[in-house]
Structure 1
């Protein structure tokens, strides 16, 4: 599945990015807790001047926390391991070594994921030690740590899969972000346009809450605000875990099957260029139409603007080769 020689090469080649990401992920939450503690001590010092002040050392992880930034490390690693490596030409050298492509991808994937998981585990231990030491009153800490690990796994798998099918770092980021909102583009956007069109002819244009809630479950980016087990449901934990596994399988398949000669182009497989361009134009038409749907004339005008914007964006992103580093 992985090769020790490739693991060593991966470590030497990406040493600094691994080190920076590891340190950032590991220290982000402990440093946040330390900052909260020092602010609390400062508040206690001010009580002599302002007796009516209230000082509380409290943290609710459902509202927010540095653990939400774990996924940034996953994006940085995946970009470095495939996008920038392909852009510099070093991935071509790696693929020329006497190893199967599947072993190369799995080595990169396992090593990058190990860096992230180890850093998150140490962050958890350090954070929990500070919570006990300073007696911080916390809520949802353990649930949100588990959720952050799973979300980071999903994001890392998604960006790695995007890198396996694209030819430059910008394309890798665009494809990863587009996939993270794809259910809303494919389902939510057409439904919104149908409701607007229906309203022009006397129908009701209100959104159905059930549909919006269903889209939340299958849209990766929505899990940025749904770490851990919320509302007594395991879905917010199990669904992103399943999506992370699916993205890994897609990335593995694309890495071993697609050609590598299109460095600098948006997609490695040239036959994807035209269908994706058509989709981008349709999304532009639907998006601008929905945003301008106050009247039938403005709706049509918005669709025309959206088609032009979609064409220009797709043309310059997909059909213009980016110079290699």
Structure 2
């Protein structure tokens, strides 16, 4: 542990770290007060003479129905947590590609430290924020709400911890993804587009698109309608954060986020370790990544676009014509993606010169 490197990171980025903490505290405090105020208003309404009069003449609500209506889940007072997913994405880009564009890497790598030391010290403060500071702030918000609202209307403590853990993992994944992209790509606009596009496509397209393709082809080859495949599988058109934000969080999603975060960490380290300072400001910091990105990127885009816009009817058998049409569409998207990546990876510099 080098205090010199820690001080360097703090001096360069203190304003960002402080802004995140202040914004997070303000957001959580506002959410907590709004939740309590809204609950109190609803509670007073159900106790008022106005409601008693309406409830005796119109459709009568039972005591249990009133309790259910007043009861809260952690996701009923989510606040702006989803927005901070993109705040940590920006933080990862700030610590990588933003600094490259200011040529801070030349100064950093000129210090008497190994790249490994630099990499882990660059990770230290953001990880403290994500793993320690942010969960504590969310926990304090829960404590305030639990003190102000009767326990029978509140979620269980286990639900609260699940909620805190799920968002911490989302923030971790967001930051790790940005670090991986920022260490791979040397150009700030390109890196920002790739990072935001990756997040949006993965969280809102890829899992649903993959589900569509798998379930669709499985139903066709089994000669069944989609409703009869896998116990009536639901075709998904959104993904990872949706179950979390709506109150459902499966263990599998925790595992996926942890594995993806570790994967992004490995890519980030390898990209930084092998990056060439001569490529600062260019599309790729290491040209050896061109072919893997071309292959993986083309397949990824093909799955996202073809699966997301695949349309099958639940109660009807999938015809051979529909499958052939989908396969043709997948091939066309794949070919177009390969050409686009090939031009970007191998010919873009030549084209720009002309």
TM-score (norm 2): 0.68
1:113-124 counterparts in 2 under 5 A? 113-124=127-138
Determine the structure 1 residue equivalent to 2:262. Answer: 245
Q: Give the number of aligned pairs.
A: 313
Q: 1:83, 1:169 within 8 Å by CA — same for their partners in 2?
A: yes
Measure the CA separation in 2 of the matches of 1:299 and 1:236: 29
Report how far residue 164 of structure 1 moved.
1.9
CA distances 1:137-165 after superposition (whole Å, capped 9, x unpaired): 33221221122223322332232122222
Cα distance change on mapping 1:188 and 1:40 into 2, 3 Å? closer
1:147-162 counterparts in 2 under 5 A? 147-162=166-181
CA distances 1:108-153 after superposition (whole Å, capped 9, x unpaired): 1011111333431341343133113312633221221122223322
Question: Which structure has the highest helix share of the two?
Answer: 2
Determine the structure 2 residue equivalent to 1:21. Answer: 20
Determine the structure 2 residue equivalent to 1:165. Answer: 184
Is residue 2:238 matched to residue 1:225?
Answer: no
CA distances 1:19-62 after superposition (whole Å, capped 9, x unpaired): 22122233333321211222334446767684248796543125
Measure the CA separation in 2 of the matches of 1:187 and 1:309: 22
Residue of 105, 108, 113 corresponding to 1:91 = 105
Q: 2:9, 2:122 within 8 Å by CA — same for their partners in 1?
A: yes
CA distances 1:193-217 after superposition (whole Å, capped 9, x unpaired): 8956995x9955749549x89xx9x
Structure with the greater alpha carbon radius of gyration: 2
Note the residue ranges of structure 1 that are not aligned, 5 or more in a row. none
Determine the structure 2 residue equivalent to 1:259. Answer: 276
Measure the CA separation in 1 of the matches of 2:215 and 2:43: 58
Q: CA RMSD in A?
A: 4.5
Q: 2:209, 2:304 within 8 Å by CA — same for their partners in 1?
A: no
Determine the structure 2 residue equivalent to 1:30. Answer: 29
Measure the CA separation in 2 of the matches of 1:60 and 1:240: 22
Between 1:281-290 and 1:251-260, the stretch displaced more is 281-290
Q: 1:289, 1:301 within 8 Å by CA — same for their partners in 2?
A: no
1:39-50 counterparts in 2 under 5 A? 39-43=38-42, 50=50
Cα distance change on mapping 1:19 and 1:90 into 2, 3 Å? same
Residue of 189, 193, 202 corresponding to 1:181 = 202
Q: 2:213, 2:310 within 8 Å by CA — same for their partners in 1?
A: no
Report how far residue 14 of structure 1 moved.
1.4
Determine the structure 2 residue equivalent to 1:273. Answer: 290
1:96-115 counterparts in 2 under 5 A? 96-115=110-129
Q: 2:240, 2:253 within 8 Å by CA — same for their partners in 1?
A: no
Report how far residue 273 of structure 1 moved.
2.4
CA distances 1:164-194 after superposition (whole Å, capped 9, x unpaired): 2221344445257548839x86996598289
